Structure formats: structure tokens, C-alpha cells
């Protein structure tokens, strides 16, 4: 009787144990800077719920930063008529928007009493003052020179936002791209003052109507759907913000003296890229 040869797989398998010998900090720390992130939390009250509020808000700021990156990437690619790069950035941003929206979960069920436990620690701080969120809104066409006023005391931030104010937004670059592709975008829309809030135009609505009545696999239709997905998730963000605020503080004046729920209600009623929504009624 002969015996079967013993497998040598185990003998020849490479050593898969992770490297744990480093001369300084770990490569993970060097790349992620986790210790820096972990040192950024400085609650100002003794209420244990403030830590959740603070970390969640900081996480939101990181998502804002990433979304600004994605939409600037998409706008730059559209300016160069590189639709593939633009679509990839828009697609990534929808996943990131879903994660941003999920950030409301830790805060969405705060009762007024729980919020009041640390609200005084916020002082005059308000999410309305976030410079990164303002850049995000500018990219979506929500522009106004008056929005620069809160940053006058921070010259570097003010200069960066003023530059963003005067640059074409994401939708501006979309419409310019469509015009170069032969779509009848009015000259008045293409030459508008991009430092002002985008206003819907009936002729742009007609362009999107024709796009949706045509080939559903055409580039313009796929671009329209990618933008619609972004717009829907932005609306959900605004609505979730409204609901969380209403649950936590009702109709009281917001931190920083804002109108609170009343202001958020107006924001939640608006859609970005408006003609993409109104054109659907005409298809």
C-alpha cells in the first residue's frame, strides 16, 4: 500500500501575520491622523449628550469637505467635457450624501430637555455659520453676496468663499456643457452673473423636457438622472435637518439668532437644479 503524498500547501503558504514593528507611529496613524481627529472634541458642558452632538457635527463637516471635493471635481470635468469623470464624481457623491444624511440619526431623537442639557454650551454657534457648508451651497447654486457677511472677521475664509461665490456652480457647468453639445440653453442663462442665486428658466426646462423625451440612454439623460439623485438627497438632508430641529427645540429661536424651524422650512421647500423637477410634468 502506498500513501498519498501529504499536501505542502500549509508548508509553502506565505507568512500572513501583519507587520507590528514600527520605528515611530503606525503607518495608519501617519495616513489617517486619527489621534488628531480624536483630540478635536472639547465639550463645554458636563452633559454626556454633548459629546454625541459635537462628534456628529464634526463628522458632518468632514462629509461637507468631501462633497465639495466631489462637486468641484465634477464641475471641472464638465468644463472640459469629460463626462465620464464628472459622472463618477457625481455617483460617489450620492453615496456620500446618503452617509451624511445618516449622520442625523444620533441627533434625530433628542427631546427638548435632552437638547437643553447642553444647548447653552453652543452660545451663538450655529450650523448656518459653517464655511464648508456655505461652499457646498454655492456649488449647488444657492448664492448671495450677503452670505459672506459672517466671515468678515476671518479674512482667509472670507477670501476663499468670495472666490467660490464668483465661480460657476455645478449646475452652471452642466448647462454650459449641454450648450456645447448643441442643446438650446439661452445665452442669458449662460452669461448670467454666477455670483447670484440661480433662477429657473422656462427655456432650460424645455431642454430637459426634450432630453427626457429622447433616448433614455443618451449622455444628457444619464447626466440629468445623476443630478436628480443629488438633488433628491440634498432635499432629504434639508428635511432631516428640519425634523431633527423641530423635535429638539420646536419653534424656538435657533442658536446664533436664526429663525430656527421657520428658516429650515423655507429651505426644505426648495429643490436644487429646479428645471430637472418641473420638466417632469411636461414629459
Nine-digit cell string for 277: 423637477
Q: Is residue 159 part of a domain?
A: yes
158 is annotated as contributing to ligand binding: no
Q: Is residue 11 part of a domain?
A: no
CATH classification of the domain holding 245: 1.20.58.480
255 is annotated as contributing to ligand binding: yes
Q: Is residue 269 part of a domain?
A: yes
111 is annotated as contributing to ligand binding: no
> What residues make up the domain containing 141?
48-111+126-282
Q: Is residue 76 part of a domain?
A: yes
In this structure, are residues 71 and 77 in contact, taking their beta carbons and an 8 Å threshold?
Answer: no
Cα 106–chain centre separation: 18
> Radius of gyration of the chain from Cα atoms?
24
Is the pTM higher than 0.85? The answer reads yes
Q: Is residue 29 part of a domain?
A: no
In this structure, are residues 85 and 77 in contact, taking their beta carbons and an 8 Å threshold?
Answer: yes
Task: Provide φ and ψ at 197, rounded to 5°.
Answer: -60, 140
pLDDT tens for the chain, 283 residues long, are 555 555 455 555 566 788 888 888 999 999 999 999 999 999 999 999 999 999 999 999 999 999 999 999 999 999 999 999 999 999 999 999 999 999 999 998 899 999 999 999 988 888 889 999 999 999 999 999 999 999 999 999 999 999 999 999 999 999 999 999 999 999 999 999 999 999 999 999 999 999 999 999 899 999 999 999 999 999 999 999 999 988 888 877 766 666 678 878 887 888 899 999 999 999 9
Domain count across the chain: 1
Task: Specify the length of the chain in residues.
Answer: 283
Amino acid at each position: 500500500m502506498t500513501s498519498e503524498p501529504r499536501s505542502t500547501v500549509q508548508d509553502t503558504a506565505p507568512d500572513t501575520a501583519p507587520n507590528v514593528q514600527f520605528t515611530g507611529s503606525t503607518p495608519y496613524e501617519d495616513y489617517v491622523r486619527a489621534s488628531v481627529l480624536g483630540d478635536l472634541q472639547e465639550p463645554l458642558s458636563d452633559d454626556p449628550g454633548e459629546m454625541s452632538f459635537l462628534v456628529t457635527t464634526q463628522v458632518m463637516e468632514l462629509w461637507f469637505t468631501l462633497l465639495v471635493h466631489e462637486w468641484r471635481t465634477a464641475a471641472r470635468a464638465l468644463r472640459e467635457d469629460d463626462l465620464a469623470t464628472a459622472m463618477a464624481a457625481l455617483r460617489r457623491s450620492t453615496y456620500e450624501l446618503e452617509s451624511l444624511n445618516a449622520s442625523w440619526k444620533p441627533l434625530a431623537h433628542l427631546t427638548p430637555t435632552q437638547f437643553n442639557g447642553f444647548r447653552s454650551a453652543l452660545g451663538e454657534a450655529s450650523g448656518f455659520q459653517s464655511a464648508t457648508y456655505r461652499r457646498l451651497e454655492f456649488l449647488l447654486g444657492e448664492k448671495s453676496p450677503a452670505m459672506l457677511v459672517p466671515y468678515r472677521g476671518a479674512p482667509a475664509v472670507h477670501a476663499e468663499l468670495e472666490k467660490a461665490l464668483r465661480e460657476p456652480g455645478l449646475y452652471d457647468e452642466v448647462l454650459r456643457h449641454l450648450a456645447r453639445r448643441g442643446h438650446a440653453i439661452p445665452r442669458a442663462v449662460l452669461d448670467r452673473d454666477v455670483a447670484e442665486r440661480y433662477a429657473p428658466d422656462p427655456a432650460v426646462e424645455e431642454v430637459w423636457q426634450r432630453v427626457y423625451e429622447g433616448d433614455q440612454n443618451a449622455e444628457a439623460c444619464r447626466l440629468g438622472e445623476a443630478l436628480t439623485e443629488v438633488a433628491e438627497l440634498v432635499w432629504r438632508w434639508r428635511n432631516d435637518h428640519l425634523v431633527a430641529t423641530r423635535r429638539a427645540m420646536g419653534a424656538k429661536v435657533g442658536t446664533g439668532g436664526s429663525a430656527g424651524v421657520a428658516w429650515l422650512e423655507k429651505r426644505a421647500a426648495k429643490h436644487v437644479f429646479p428645471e430637472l423637477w418641473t420638466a417632469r410634468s411636461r414629459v
